[in-house]
């Protein structure tokens, strides 16, 4: 029943998003509706997926307008947990858009795709992300540049953090942790059940979720930083330090 419920929600989400895409021509309004729809479906999808997130320090972020959120990254489940809090525009590589099924879902969800392999596009992409925040969007960046197995937080890549300074908005460091799986603490023995990284294929990993009764996750939102006058490198180092401190805390 859980699998049926999740797959039904996915198909309903795809159909609803495609209808929106056809009905709305303005790109800004289309993205706004897409991320609102994504947030709605993520909230109702938590229970059949067995996801049980808790949030701390999130009230300010929940009500914030245009801003940048930086967070560690382990799985596509991260996006479901975060989007259940509020509508976000997620930043992802064009590589993700090219993946079967996952790419379609990401595009329908209003994801902003960047070409990390093309340095000549970097300046324009930073401006475009800044423009989204100036229009009131809350943008989520995973500055590790890839998902991990959860054993560590990788160093942050700073370039896209520059978009917050250009937009003159606040930056919220967030720490996401998977606390337990089926009542057992998250560890190297069970982390691959939720972490999706490296060359893992999506479909078998997704199917394995239904063998789990519960996954407890926590998202801690820390005090915002003013990026308007910050040096990009220093800001990146500060955000990395904040996320690491929360992630490695017992």
**Which pLDDT tens digit goes with each residue over 202-227?**
999 999 998 889 999 999 999 999 88
DSSP string, 13-27: HHHHHHHHHHH---H
pTM greater than 0.85 (yes/no) = yes
- Mean of all residue pLDDT scores within the chain: 93
Nearest to residue 206, comparing CAs of 194, 218, 215? 194
Question: Residue 120 above 80 pLDDT?
Answer: no
8 A C-beta contact, residue 45 and residue 2: no
- What is the reported pLDDT for 147? 95
- What is the reported pLDDT for 136? 97
User: What's the Cα-to-Cα distance from 119 to each of 23, 114, 116, 176, 201, rounded to whole Å?
Assistant: 35, 11, 7, 29, 28
**Spacing of C-alpha 33 from chain mean position:** 17
Tell me the domains of the chain and their CATH numbers.
2-248 (3.40.1130)
Question: Residue 141 above 80 pLDDT?
Answer: yes
Give the C-alpha separation, 174 to 71, whole Å: 5
pLDDT digits (tens, 9 = 90+) for 54-82: 999 999 999 999 999 999 999 999 999 99
Give the C-alpha separation, 128 to 134, whole Å: 10
**Spacing of C-alpha 177 from chain mean position:** 13
């Amino acid at each position: 029943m859980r699998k049926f419920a999740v797959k039904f929600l996915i198909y309903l989400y795809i159909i609803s998003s495609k209808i929106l895409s056809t009905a709305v021509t303005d790109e800004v309004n289309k993205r706004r509706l897409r991320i609102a729809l994504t947030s709605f479906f993520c909230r109702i999808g938590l229970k059949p997926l067995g996801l049980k997130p808790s949030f701390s320090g999130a009230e300010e972020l929940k009500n914030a307008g245009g801003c940048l959120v930086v967070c560690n990254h382990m799985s596509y489940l991260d996006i479901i947990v975060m989007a259940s809090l509020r509508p976000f525009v997620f930043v992802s590589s064009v590589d993700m858009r090219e993946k079967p099924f996952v790419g379609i879902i990401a595009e329908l969800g209003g994801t902003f795709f960047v070409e990390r392999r093309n340095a000549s596009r970097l300046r324009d992409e930073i401006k475009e992300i800044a423009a989204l925040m100036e229009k009131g969007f809350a943008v989520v960046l995973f500055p590790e540049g890839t998902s991990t197995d959860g054993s560590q937080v990788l160093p942050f890549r700073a370039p896209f953090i520059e978009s917050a300074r250009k937009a003159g908005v606040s930056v919220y460091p967030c720490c996401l942790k998977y606390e337990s799986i089926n009542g057992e603490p998250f560890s190297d023995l069970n982390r691959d059940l939720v972490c999706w990284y490296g060359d893992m294929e999506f479909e078998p990993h997704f199917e394995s979720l239904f063998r789990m009764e519960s996954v407890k996750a926590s998202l801690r939102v820390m005090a915002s930083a003013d990026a308007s006058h910050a040096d990009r490198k220093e800001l990146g180092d500060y955000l990395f330090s904040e996320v690491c401190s929360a992630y490695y805390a017992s």
